[in-house]
Structure 1
Amino acid sequence: MLQLSGAGKRFGTKLLFEEADWLITANERTALVGANGTGKSTLMKVLAGVESVGGLDYGTLQRTRGMTIGYLPQDGLALSGRSVFDECLSVFDGLIAMEKEMETLTVALSELDHTSSEYAAAADRYSHIDAQFRAHDGYALDAQVGTVLTGLGFSKTDWTRQTEEFSGGWQMRIALAKLLLQKPSLLLLDEPTNHLDIEARDWLEGYLKTYPNGYILISHDRYFLDVTVDKIVELWNKRINVYHGNYEKYLSQKAERMAQLQAAYKNQKEHIEHLEAFISRFRYQATKAKQVQSRIKELEKIERIEIPEEEPVIHFTFPQPPPSGRTVVEVSGLSKSFGPKQVLNDVSFTIDRGDRIALVGVNGAGKSTLVKLLSGDDTPTSGVLKLGHNVLADYFAQDQYKVLDPDARMLDDISKTALKVPEAELRGLLGCFLFSGDDVFKRLGVLSGGERNRYALAKILVSPANFLLLDEPTNHLDLRAKDVLLEAIQNFTGTVIFVSHDRYFIDRIATRVFEVADGKVHVFPGGYEDYLWRKEGGAAELAAATAAAAKVPVVVAAPVVVPEPVATPEPAKKRVNPIKLKQMQERLAAVEEEMPQLEAAISETETALGNFVSAEETTRLSGVLEGLRQMQSSLTEEWEGLMLELEEA
């Protein structure tokens, strides 16, 4: 469908890539990855044919005739003049024109003589257009637009609003919706998840899995890449390297390739040193002249293996804060309104020391409002919010850059915050957040909003309080910076509550999930996967299964008759008849011997059921298996009861 051959591209004097070969097929599902500055976005623009970038400096780019390309840049798109729905519907202008022509033809057919040649021509034209219209699902255009807009987080009231009323992030969502509705032969999406919440991101994952054509993605969201692509193209060492599999497989394959490259480099280096030593030793001996010349020619023909300098892996650890009390926050009957709009209503929960809580919910549900209330940056309309003993809170807002001193130099500013951290370590940390070289001497006022937010996050890392409130800290971060932040939070001994739309980040950190929805906060124990399982009905299914199992008749393997316990005047200490104690111990040992035998019998029966012999045999084995499982349930219950009684004794 599209092919790069021997391609090269420069950005000013910097060579981004050279000798690049890449065959892009019709069913391409690929992620384009690489370090910042390697040229990923530039390569994407070259593929898209964006005029501002121009073509290749050398090499060729061939496209299949008739293919269509849809390109979504990182930002910079602005739409105006139409409602959201009409803007998205505009991608079907060709089909809408067909529909209008069919209406005109319908009128003409009703007026023309059925026996005339004009009628026959109009009927043929109508039949041809109608077939095309149906093939493109033209009778369901409104439904297509509604499905995509809803999936990307637009409410029905948003559909009639003018596009210019929306912020830059929502403008990018509209642009993405238009591309998805167009269904070009090749989708080129540069950071499509930057402006999406988790719900919209999950919807996009599902949409791409069923997308009928090919797509190439640039993304810093590991989970998103793992579930949407089956090939990774990496820009590394000014070359294109192809890996088959998702992002997780790419990481392991790259490590293997790097080990092979280093081994080959070591072998080649030893061989070159051996040749050079021979040449140096026998250069001036006439009897060895032929061998020396042979080795000189061999040395000249060797294509030297180069190992580019890798970015150092930074392992940053929070300076550990003073411990807080066991209870960090108590919230009771908390409500928050903005005029007539009530965002939170009668919310109650407790946060304990060491919790790492992910706040989730659709955009506008009140996540940022709740974080501001917890930080003290805003006050509740009603209710009680009480911080625990020795709790020191620090808050990272989405617009944190606004509180920075614009006249301060970056390295000086962060050094004042972290007096005990060496400058080299501070520069390494800033490098992880994409500030390297002379960038660290820039004044904060000259940085963009995204750059200042990245710096503000790095600044929080060097002097954390014991209660961190982070509102979308992963925005504007690449994979390397996310890893630094993730590792630091994992090793942090304090308490963290955070908002993020990065599934991988949430999966690795969260110990509890607070869902903000309909003015309430719903608390879910466990991580994000547990939250999804419970939301999808897993907890209800488990409870139903447990209740059903409790009603199954229990077959007791060997009931034990024991005498009544001797009454004791000491209520604080339970005494047990020695005869009963011995009987319980013997029975416990017997049960522990029976359980593995029963498990083996269940396993053998399950294996036998897997090999079909006859319907009668299958029925018999099913009955045997059910009886064995009932015995296992009975034994397990008996074992737990015996253990409990023995512990009390």
Structure 2
Amino acid sequence: MLQLSGAGKRFGQKLLYEDVNWLITPDERTGLVGGNGTGKSTLLKVLAGVEQLDLGTMTRARGMTLGYLPQDGLALKGRSVFDECLSIFDEIRSMEQEAEDLSAKLAEHEPGSPAYEAAADRYSYITDVMHANDIYTLDYQVGTVLGGLGFSKEDWLRQTEEFSGGWQMRIALAKLLLQKPSLLLLDEPTNHLDLETRNWLEDYLRNYENAFVLISHDRYFLDVTVGKTVELWNKRAHFYFGNYEKYLKQKEERRAQLMSAYKNQRDQIEHLESFINRFRAQATKAKQVQSRIKELEKIERIEVPEDEATIHFTIPQPPASGRTVIDVQHLYKSYGEKKILEDVSFSIDRGDRIALVGANGAGKSTLIRMLSGLEGPTSGEIKLGHNVLADYFAQDQYKVLDPKAKMLDDISGIALKVPQVELRSLLGCFMFSGDDVFKELGVLSGGERNRYAMAKMLVSPANMLLLDEPTNHLDLRAKDVLLDAIRKFTGTVLFVSHDRYFIDGLATRVFEVEDRRVHIYPGNYEDYLWRKQGGPEKVTEEIRSSPAYVPDPVVVVAAPVKAAVSPIKKLNPIKLKQLEDRLAAVEHDMPKLEGDIAAAEEQLGNYSSADESQRIATSLEKMRADHAALMIEWEELSTQLEEQNT
């Protein structure tokens, strides 16, 4: 459908990547990953035709359509949200009027006449197009997508210019999803989405009928949507089959294989050099020495590029607080006539890591600002416990930084005991490297200053952290550092995040803000979803504190009780031996098939012709299907044999 051959791109004097060979097939579901500055967004712009290659070529199949969503910068105006989305169907809707005109022409002309035949052919074509695009359900299609992306029915009638930049990007995303192009190119589509709309988009992409390539710093989103990962690393594109989790495993395996091959080659080179040096001066060995020299010259040296160093930063541990960190009783909050929170009561204990979730506009940021003391409640009480030192990280935290301060001097001033080498490593993880650390904070963008503010908070934390969207503007590597650091933090954390992986890896409780109340769920986001989808009922702090409330231990620790199963029927020895033999055959065939798949993938990366690439792609697709079938059979056989042995 689209093919890059020997593709390369520069950014000024810097070479971003070169020799990229990539055949994008109609069933492509790919995540584009790589470190900051490797050229991911630039490559997506090349695929979209927004930028041109400096090296190599790009070819597209005739008739294919493209849809591209940049990270930001789109602004729409002049129409309501609903009409803006409906406008993508203008051409199809105009066909409806043409179809009515053609019906009138068909009535005017004699059947069999040239005018009649021409009108009939055009009418047939138009009705086929209208039918293919479900013209009579266009309003329904628009409403479904807008609802999924978080627009209320009241929002549909508002003018697009009334919405902020993040909501403008949602409108642009809605238009692309409704267009259903042959290839959808999405650069950070989840940046402006809350958890509910991310979940909806995940389901939409899983069922999307065409191809897509996306960039995302949301690890969970990548895991559930893509089946292939392309990494830009060391100025090359490296292809992995599987989601992000499988990509990480395969990358580690590839590096281990590369290191093994590198070691074997070094041993071979050292052996040849030793022979040459030992016998170079002996005339009787001249022929063997020359043979070894030629052999040495023919060796294509394996290079092992430096891998990104893994940063493990430990947050300096704060002074301990009392057992109860925050106690909230009968909290109300309203802005004029608009009620945000009503009769909210809860307590937070030392060591809690609480995820604050809820739809956009539910009141999460308002609640976290009140807990930080930046905003007062309309009524009710918020009490801080003994020795509680709270620190608040806002979505616009960069506004409180000194624009004249230089980055390294500023962070060193509050972390006197932390060596500068360690501080520079931490800043590098948050995408500040080289001379960036000597810049004044005022010259940085808002996103860059927010990243710096997060790094600064980590080196001198209070014992109660209130974090509003701490993962915004962070890449996957920086998120992992932040997640690892907060896990080791002995204080208390309450945070708002739309990153599912981050919440699952950190939260010990989930506070859901819904219908102006706060509902409390034990466990992480997966546990919260399980309870929302039919697990035990949610327990509010009001119910929990009631004298009649008796906690049920099943709510916290027990999984749903499985129905009783009938005893496993034991097989006779002959049937058992057949199962064992088939399992052994499958286990023998799978590595060979995996080797054939790897060889075909390598062939696909070396472009020779369009026909040959198509042949290899077809063969590769069949091998992958065979491999998937073998995996299913292997799982079934293994389960049967395991049951027989229990």
**Which piece of structure 1 moves more, 469-478 or 310-319?**
310-319
CA distance in 1, matches of 2:500, 2:7: 35
- The answer to whether the aligner puts 1:344 opposite 2:341 as a matched pair is yes
CA distance in 2, matches of 1:128, 1:261: 56
Match of 2:588 in 1: none
* Aligned residue type for 2:356: L
Match of 1:88 in 2: 85
- The answer to whether the aligner puts 1:535 opposite 2:532 as a matched pair is yes
- The answer to whether the aligner puts 1:21 opposite 2:18 as a matched pair is no
Residues 282 and 113 of structure 1: CA distance in aligned 2, closer, same or farther (over 3 Å):
closer
Of residues 236, 247, 250, the one that matches 1:250 is 247
Match of 1:413 in 2: 410
CA distance in 2, matches of 1:291, 1:126: 82
* Aligned residue type for 2:568: T
Residues 166 and 540 of structure 1: CA distance in aligned 2, closer, same or farther (over 3 Å):
closer
CA distance in 1, matches of 2:111, 2:28: 52
Of residues 421, 424, 428, the one that matches 1:424 is 421
Q: How many Å apart are 1:251 and its aligned residue?
A: 0.9
* Aligned residue type for 2:47: L
Which is greater in Rg?
1
Residues 108 and 504 of structure 1: CA distance in aligned 2, closer, same or farther (over 3 Å):
same
Q: How many Å apart are 1:18 and its aligned residue?
A: 2.1
Q: How many Å apart are 1:276 and its aligned residue?
A: 2.3
Match of 2:633 in 1: none
CA distance in 2, matches of 1:129, 1:141: 16
- The answer to whether the aligner puts 1:30 opposite 2:27 as a matched pair is no
CA distance in 2, matches of 1:327, 1:7: 59
After superposition, the C-alpha distances for 1:538-560 in whole angstroms (9 at most, x for unaligned) are 2269xxxxxxxxxxxxxxxxxxx
Instruction: Describe how 1:199-278 pairs up with structure 2 within 5 A.
Output: 199-278=196-275
Instruction: Describe how 1:54-73 pairs up with structure 2 within 5 A.
Output: 54-55=52-53, 57-73=54-70
Give the secondary structure class of the aligned counterpart of 1:15.
strand
Match of 1:507 in 2: 504
Instruction: Describe how 1:170-185 pairs up with structure 2 within 5 A.
Output: 170-185=167-182
Residues 189 and 609 of structure 1: CA distance in aligned 2, closer, same or farther (over 3 Å):
farther
- The answer to whether the aligner puts 1:10 opposite 2:10 as a matched pair is yes
Q: How many Å apart are 1:292 and its aligned residue?
A: 2.2
Match of 1:629 in 2: none
* Aligned residue type for 2:19: E
CA distance in 2, matches of 1:204, 1:184: 16
* Aligned residue type for 1:168: G
CA distance in 2, matches of 1:89, 1:609: 62
TM-score (norm 1): 0.81
5+ residue gaps, structure 1: 542-601, 612-649
CA distance in 1, matches of 2:291, 2:149: 67
Give the secondary structure class of the aligned counterpart of 1:538.
coil
Match of 1:288 in 2: 285
* Aligned residue type for 1:607: I
Match of 1:631 in 2: none
CA RMSD after TM alignment:
2.0
Instruction: Describe how 1:105-184 pairs up with structure 2 within 5 A.
Output: 105-106=102-103, 112=108, 117=113, 122=119, 125-184=122-181
Instruction: Describe how 1:447-486 pairs up with structure 2 within 5 A.
Output: 447-486=444-483
Give the secondary structure class of the aligned counterpart of 2:161.
helix
Number of aligned residues: 546
CA distance in 1, matches of 2:232, 2:372: 42
CA distance in 1, matches of 2:112, 2:294: 87
CA distance in 1, matches of 2:156, 2:119: 37
After superposition, the C-alpha distances for 1:241-272 in whole angstroms (9 at most, x for unaligned) are 21111111111111111011111111112222
- The answer to whether the aligner puts 1:444 opposite 2:405 as a matched pair is no
Q: How many Å apart are 1:175 and its aligned residue?
A: 1.1
Match of 2:40 in 1: 40
CA distance in 1, matches of 2:124, 2:233: 54
Q: How many Å apart are 1:348 and its aligned residue?
A: 0.8
Q: Percent identity?
A: 74
* Aligned residue type for 2:16: L
- The answer to whether the aligner puts 1:375 opposite 2:336 as a matched pair is no
After superposition, the C-alpha distances for 1:93-135 in whole angstroms (9 at most, x for unaligned) are 221111221243456667x477795567545543432232011
* Aligned residue type for 1:608: K
Of residues 295, 301, 319, the one that matches 1:304 is 301
Instruction: Describe how 1:606-625 pairs up with structure 2 within 5 A.
Output: 606-608=567-569
**Which piece of structure 1 moves more, 38-47 or 12-21?**
12-21
TM-score (norm 2): 0.82
CA distance in 2, matches of 1:41, 1:336: 42
Match of 2:352 in 1: 355
* Aligned residue type for 2:419: P
Give the secondary structure class of the aligned counterpart of 1:81.
coil
CA distance in 2, matches of 1:610, 1:297: 63
**Which piece of structure 1 moves more, 115-124 or 286-295?**
115-124
5+ residue gaps, structure 2: 539-563, 573-646
* Aligned residue type for 1:7: A
**Which piece of structure 1 moves more, 5-14 or 242-251?**
5-14
After superposition, the C-alpha distances for 1:23-61 in whole angstroms (9 at most, x for unaligned) are 1110011111111111111111111111xx312x22222
CA distance in 2, matches of 1:490, 1:62: 47
Q: How many Å apart are 1:197 and its aligned residue?
A: 0.6
* Aligned residue type for 2:567: E
**Which piece of structure 1 moves more, 129-138 or 290-299?**
290-299
Match of 1:546 in 2: none
Q: How many Å apart are 1:363 and its aligned residue?
A: 0.7
Q: How many Å apart are 1:511 and its aligned residue?
A: 0.6
